[in-house]
Structure 1
Amino acid sequence: MDITEEKVDNLNAILKIQIGKEDYESRVGDVLKDYKKKVRLDGFRPGMVPVGLIKKMYGKAVLIEEINKIISESISKYLIDKDLKILGEPLPSDKEQKTIDWDNQTDFEFAFDLGLAPEFDMNLSKKDKIAFYKIKIDQKLRDTYIENYTRRYGTFTPVEMAGEKEMLKGSIRQIDAEGNITENGIYAEDTSFSIEIIKDKKIKDKFVGTRIKDVINFDIKKAFPNDQEIASILYINKDDVPALSSDFQFTINEISRFENAELNQEFFDKAFGKDKVKTVEEFEILVENEIKNNLTGEEEFKFSLDVKEKTINKLEIELPVEFLKKWLFRINEGKVAKEEIDKDFEKFEKDLKWQLIKDKVIKENEIKITEDEALDYAKKVTLMQFQQYGMTNISDEQLENYARELLKKEEENKRIYEKKYEEKVIEFIKELVKIDLKEVTTDEFNKLFDKK
């Protein structure tokens, strides 16, 4: 067997593999001998089917399978031995591959296109400037956080008369054009909705000022253009909503107003655990720290995007574009049109370049992730998940237990390590370049994303 590499250019090569009879004959023979022991054929005792007949029945398929194995093994060994870095996978060459006659040939030649990983230098220095946007913490932001906390632990209080934001609870019935209850029509005994979400102003005005036991006839599809909202109110399938054409009658049984929680000990205990916060001042300090932590995450996320963009643009990494497009088409088995690949290729190209940069930084600087670092990152991810559901009073022991369980899941473990590696790569690049610190308001910071 002989393998030769022909360079097309710095990013493309052709790998040619010549396989002779001596490379596959014994392997094919061993497989056919094994078939002979196992094949059951009418007229022959087990294990007594002639080799010639076995070869006639299975020889060609076995030959193709064994040669494919030899090719795969040979390519893998060649790439390792030559320390050849490729992108994607070797593809049968459309231009160089000769037609194979499996019935008559004994020697074979195969040609594969290779997309070569580009060589590049990390030529970043303090001459390269990347902005780091620091968000100012103003009173508006503090008030927003406090409002979110008090709303999260707020309660509904019964009231006698409905305003524009009250929650109504009662029964709803389908009615005909004359306002009569439709026999066997849609009926929900115990349903509710907020007046605030009614979209039609005239219908909303009908409900404002109502009291318990008042009855309102209205066009439900005008009031709630969202089919899912109507389905939830009527307890019907969302797919049945478009067919509705009649009005509905709502009888009010309860009226309640949502009130944010007061800043008292009951609220502090619910939000943070028994006696962990005892004064408004302690609560405000905790909120301030939470804002800082959250903003740090947002600031670092924005910085990571800018680092990626700056690094990719500065290094000007070239890729074997046509090879990669062909490879993407092949691995998707024709399920994705070439036009679709062309459309999405720019994003794929940027992601691949960033992956190459990360791999280079990690390898050349021997960056490692310790188990403790992975655990700390998993704890941070876990805490964010809890906070999304309003769960803030999680003990350190609970947090660590959940984080350890998260790391036991293969996909989550891989994701956490990848994120932590990326974090370290960002920090490495941060030390290479000059950081241009800019202080911005929340609104100014949010507008930075609109520019992309």
Structure 2
Amino acid sequence: MNITKENIDELNATLKIKLEKEDYEEKVNNVLKDYKKKAKIDGFRPGKVPMGLVKKMYGKTVLAEEINKILSESLTKHIIDEKLNILGEPLPSIKEQAPIDWDNQTEFEFAFDIALSPEFELNLSKRDKVTFYDIEVGDDLIDKTIESHTKFYGTSEKVDVVEDNEILKGDMVQLDKEGKVLEGGITKEDAIISLQVMKDEKIKKSFVGANVSQIITFNIKKAYPNATEISSMLGISKEEAEKLDSDFQFTIKEITKFVSGEVNQELFDKIYGAGNVKSLEEFRAKIKEEIKKDFDEQSNYKLLIDVKDKLVKKTKLALPDEFLKRWLLLSNKELTQEMLDKDYDNFQKDLQWQLIKDKIVKGHEIKVTDEEILEEAKKVTMQQFRQYGMRNLPEEQLENYSKSILEKPEDKRKIADSRLEKNIIEFIKETIKVENKEMTFDEFNKLFAN
């Protein structure tokens, strides 16, 4: 076997592999001997099929399969041994590959196109500037968070009179055009209606001041234009609900009012654990700290986008685009030419950024430790639990959940990659000039408008 590399240009090359009979003959013969033992052919006892017949039936297929295995193993080994920094995977060469005569050839030459990673220098200094957007945490945001907490820990209470946005349970009866109970019409016991989602304000006001046992007549389609809501409320099909446009009589049986939780020590303890927060001032300070951490994460994400754009423009990395487009189409069966043309610029930019990150990681020995991966997993875990209002997770439980996430190789890889990117950004922030700019959250969101 002989492997040679022929450079086409700085980004493209061809690997040629020459195979002689001794490179594959033994492997092919061993496979055919195994076929001979197992072959079941009419007129022959098991294991007694003539080798000539076996070769005639399976020889070409086995030859192609074994040579393909040799090619795959040889290409991989050669790329590693020669430390070739390639992009994508080797592809059979369209221009260099000669036709193969599997029936008569004993020596073969195969040509593969490869894409070479561009060589480049990356010089970062304080002359490179980027902005870190320092988002202010205003009192209004703290107030909204407190309101969200009180609603989460609120309770439902039975009341006697409708005041505003209560939930009502009662019996619903369809009426005819004269306002009388429609014979054979729709009835629903213990129907639930929510005044909060009722669309018609006039109808909504007709409920205000009503008490248990009072009867309210209203047009259900005006109150709830959404057929899906009516379908659920009356226990009928959506098709029936869409055709419905009559008045209903609703007899109130129960009035339930949602009452937000009070801002007191009990609420502090539920959110942050017993005794960790002891006053409203400490409560607001804790909330502000949490919001600030979340904002800093978003600011770092924006910084990442800006650094990526800046360094991609600065390096101006050329890529073997023709090869990459061909490789993307061949390696992804669901990708169409139209989709590729539309998304290639984004792929190109992402690949350039990946090459820049690899350069930084190797050049400055940036790594991710097991402790950092676990720390990152804890952040992911806490974000998941916070969605359900669980903010005071014991450290032991938090660590156990985090370790269980890391048991899945794919999840661990994603978390490790995320942490590595953060370490890269921290290195870049220390190396280039970062200018802080204070702004409100609304102003920050406008940065993403375009």
TM-score (norm 2): 0.91
The answer to which of 382-391 and 191-200 deviates more is: 191-200
Q: Is the 8 A contact 2:231 2:241 kept in 1?
A: no
Structure 2 counterparts to residues 48-127 of structure 1, below 5 A: 48-127=48-127
Structure 2 counterparts to residues 346-425 of structure 1, below 5 A: 346-425=345-424
Structure 2 counterparts to residues 27-426 of structure 1, below 5 A: 27-172=27-172, 189-216=189-216, 220=220, 222-226=222-226, 229-230=229-230, 232-234=232-234, 244-247=243-246, 249=248, 250-333=250-333, 335-426=334-425
**1:445 paired residue number:** 444
Q: Is the 8 A contact 2:135 2:444 kept in 1?
A: yes
SS in 1 for 2:110: strand
Residues 352 and 222 of structure 1: is their aligned pair in 2 closer, same or farther, counting only changes over 3 Å? farther
Q: Is the 8 A contact 2:227 2:242 kept in 1?
A: no
SS in 2 for 1:284: helix
Per-residue CA deviations over 1:36-76 (Å, capped at 9, x if unaligned) read 12222232222221111111111111011011111111111
SS in 2 for 1:9: coil
Task: Report the residue type matching 2:48 in the other structure.
Answer: M
Task: Report the residue type matching 1:62 in the other structure.
Answer: V
Structure 1 position 396, deviation (Å) = 1.2
Structure 1 position 100, deviation (Å) = 2.1
CA distance in 2, matches of 1:274, 1:171: 45
SS in 2 for 1:413: helix
Q: Is the 8 A contact 2:136 2:439 kept in 1?
A: yes
Residues 231 and 80 of structure 1: is their aligned pair in 2 closer, same or farther, counting only changes over 3 Å? farther
Structure 2 alignment gaps of length 5 or more: none
Q: Is the 8 A contact 1:21 1:107 kept in 2?
A: yes
Residues 22 and 227 of structure 1: is their aligned pair in 2 closer, same or farther, counting only changes over 3 Å? farther
Residues 231 and 394 of structure 1: is their aligned pair in 2 closer, same or farther, counting only changes over 3 Å? farther
Task: Report the residue type matching 1:331 in the other structure.
Answer: S
Across the aligned residues of Structure 1 and Structure 2, the Cα RMSD in angstroms comes to: 2.6
Per-residue CA deviations over 1:189-242 (Å, capped at 9, x if unaligned) read 4443432222344544454454433445555555445565445434567x7577
Task: Report the residue type matching 1:295 in the other structure.
Answer: F
CA distance in 1, matches of 2:183, 2:76: 75
Structure 1 position 274, deviation (Å) = 3.4
Task: Report the residue type matching 1:432 in the other structure.
Answer: T
SS in 1 for 2:8: strand
Residues 58 and 134 of structure 1: is their aligned pair in 2 closer, same or farther, counting only changes over 3 Å? same
Q: Is the 8 A contact 2:368 2:419 kept in 1?
A: yes
Residues 435 and 14 of structure 1: is their aligned pair in 2 closer, same or farther, counting only changes over 3 Å? same
CA distance in 2, matches of 1:309, 1:147: 39
SS in 2 for 1:392: coil
Per-residue CA deviations over 1:258-281 (Å, capped at 9, x if unaligned) read 232111233233333334333323
Structure 1 position 138, deviation (Å) = 1.8
Structure 2 counterparts to residues 7-22 of structure 1, below 5 A: 7-22=7-22
Residues 408 and 100 of structure 1: is their aligned pair in 2 closer, same or farther, counting only changes over 3 Å? same
CA distance in 1, matches of 2:177, 2:347: 57
CA distance in 1, matches of 2:81, 2:318: 25
Q: Is the 8 A contact 1:133 1:437 kept in 2?
A: yes
Task: Report the residue type matching 1:213 in the other structure.
Answer: S
Structure 1 position 420, deviation (Å) = 0.8
Per-residue CA deviations over 1:121-178 (Å, capped at 9, x if unaligned) read 2122211110001011221122122111112112233333434422223344666666
CA distance in 2, matches of 1:363, 1:449: 32
Q: Is the 8 A contact 1:168 1:252 kept in 2?
A: yes
SS in 2 for 1:278: coil
Task: Report the residue type matching 1:261 in the other structure.
Answer: G
Residues 178 and 123 of structure 1: is their aligned pair in 2 closer, same or farther, counting only changes over 3 Å? farther
Structure 1 alignment gaps of length 5 or more: none
The answer to which of 360-369 and 64-73 deviates more is: 360-369
CA distance in 2, matches of 1:398, 1:218: 52
Residues 223 and 277 of structure 1: is their aligned pair in 2 closer, same or farther, counting only changes over 3 Å? same
Q: Is the 8 A contact 2:172 2:251 kept in 1?
A: yes
SS in 1 for 2:95: coil
CA distance in 2, matches of 1:330, 1:242: 50
SS in 2 for 1:384: helix
CA distance in 2, matches of 1:300, 1:66: 51
CA distance in 2, matches of 1:180, 1:64: 85
Residues 410 and 440 of structure 1: is their aligned pair in 2 closer, same or farther, counting only changes over 3 Å? same
The answer to which of 125-134 and 79-88 deviates more is: 79-88
Q: Is the 8 A contact 2:382 2:398 kept in 1?
A: yes
Residues 21 and 207 of structure 1: is their aligned pair in 2 closer, same or farther, counting only changes over 3 Å? farther
Residues 49 and 368 of structure 1: is their aligned pair in 2 closer, same or farther, counting only changes over 3 Å? same
SS in 2 for 1:196: coil
SS in 1 for 2:16: strand
| Number of equivalent positions | 449
SS in 2 for 1:132: strand
